[in-house]
């Protein structure tokens, strides 16, 4: 039985602190391709010693096996290998949506608030239960938010000065805006900080959970208002924004680090697990474990010269 060959691209991305691709790694990479009779059509250097594209042709029946083998090699070598269909859609993105906590910013906001309220231990126990599958995201959020009752409503203003943006976040969003790509933050966190992040990065949309404030406006009640922004809702929001912007889902990308980001990665045309937990990386369309979010532009096929023009 003859199966069709499809055009794909493999992007190798080395860590910032360990640039270069060893001969051993390159040999192992080509061994994976050879084992599945993958043909290499061309090579492009995106960044000297950091990122390179290989245009390949792979049999439709071998795609799953090739992806698994490349994933295993990537983990062993500590070098990201992004495997995706070739074509115009790679560059012609129309919408990129981001998780907030541990993606656009380096902290988990709920932990910051818990530290502010001296309930870190209780919050961490609930978080652990959620991670172990003992309770779902909605239950976890409800229980953690309940511990915040009585905290001054000014807490978010206090936290803004402590927020640390992920390296490359500002440059990436600037580049995407310059390219005319719509951007959004879809967060299971809280809207005051999501809106602030939106303003700081020049994003087009921001969606997150709303915390109820007491009638006199002075403190948190320990409850949320409206629909909880969980994994399913993130996926729905991505679809809604794409529809509003008249974009086919094939031109959308979702970037996140948690299990509740997997649904929106699946809904989007492509997904990137950024410095995510191993279980999330296994299920995501791609993974990126470098220091800077700006490296996502390598995944989109841009080289250093083009990236420099975009961020300046």
Which active-site residues does the annotation give? 99, 101
Q: Tokens in use for 200?
A: 């700081």
Q: List helix spans (H) across the chain.
A: 23-35, 63-77, 109-117, 120-131, 137-146, 155-160, 169-178, 191-201, 231-244, 262-267, 278-283, 296-299, 304-311
Q: Answer whether 52's CB lies under 8 Å from 44's CB.
A: yes
Q: How far apart are the first and last CA of the chain?
A: 52
CA max distance for the chain = 73
Give residue 222's Cα distance to chain centre: 29
Q: Answer whether 94's CB lies under 8 Å from 252's CB.
A: yes
How far is residue 185's CA from residue 88's CA, in Å, rounded to a whole number? 25
280's enclosing H/E stretch is helix 278-283
Could you give the 3-state DSSP secondary structure of residue 198?
helix
Cross-strand bridge partners of residue 209: 190
Q: Tokens in use for 168?
A: 């490359």
Q: Answer whether 182's CB lies under 8 Å from 94's CB.
A: yes
How far is CA 65 from each of CA 35, 40, 99, rounded to the nearest angstrom? 10, 17, 30
How far is residue 66's CA from residue 168's CA, in Å, rounded to a whole number? 30
Residue tagged 């629909």 (tokens): 227
- Pick from 104, 138, 139: nearest CA to 230: 138
Query: Exposure string (b/e) for 246-255, b if CB count within 10 Å is 16 or more?
Result: ebeeebbbbb
């Amino acid at each position: 039985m003859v199966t069709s060959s499809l055009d794909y691209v493999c992007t190798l991305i080395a860590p910032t602190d360990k640039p270069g691709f060893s001969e051993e790694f390159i040999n192992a990479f080509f061994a994976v391709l050879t084992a599945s009779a993958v043909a290499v059509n061309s090579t492009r250097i995106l960044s000297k010693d950091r990122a390179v594209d290989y245009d390949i042709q792979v049999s439709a029946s071998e795609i799953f096996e090739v992806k698994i083998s490349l994933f295993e090699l990537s983990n062993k070598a500590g070098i990201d290998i992004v495997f995706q269909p070739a074509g115009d859609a790679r560059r012609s993105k129309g919408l990129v949506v981001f998780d907030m906590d541990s993606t656009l910013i380096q902290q988990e906001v709920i932990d910051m608030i818990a530290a502010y309220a001296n309930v870190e231990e209780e919050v961490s126990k609930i978080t652990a239960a959620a991670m172990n599958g003992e309770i779902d995201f909605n239950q976890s959020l409800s229980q953690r938010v309940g511990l915040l009752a009585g905290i001054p409503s000014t807490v978010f203003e206090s936290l803004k000065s402590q927020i640390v943006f992920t390296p490359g976040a500002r440059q990436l969003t600037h580049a995407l805006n310059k390219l005319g790509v719509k951007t959004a933050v879809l967060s299971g966190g809280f809207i005051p900080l999501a809106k602030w992040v939106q303003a700081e990065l020049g994003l087009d949309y921001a969606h997150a959970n709303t915390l109820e404030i007491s009638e006199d406006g002075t403190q948190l009640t320990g409850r949320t208002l409206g629909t909880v922004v969980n994994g399913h809702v993130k996926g729905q929001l991505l679809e809604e924004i794409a529809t509003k912007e008249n974009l086919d889902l094939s031109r959308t990308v979702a970037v996140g680090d948690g299990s509740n980001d997997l649904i929106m990665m699946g809904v989007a045309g492509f997904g990137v697990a950024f410095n995510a937990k191993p279980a999330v990386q296994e299920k995501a369309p791609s993974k990126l474990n470098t220091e800077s979010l700006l490296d996502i532009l390598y995944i989109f096929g841009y080289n250093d010269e083009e990236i420099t023009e975009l961020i300046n």
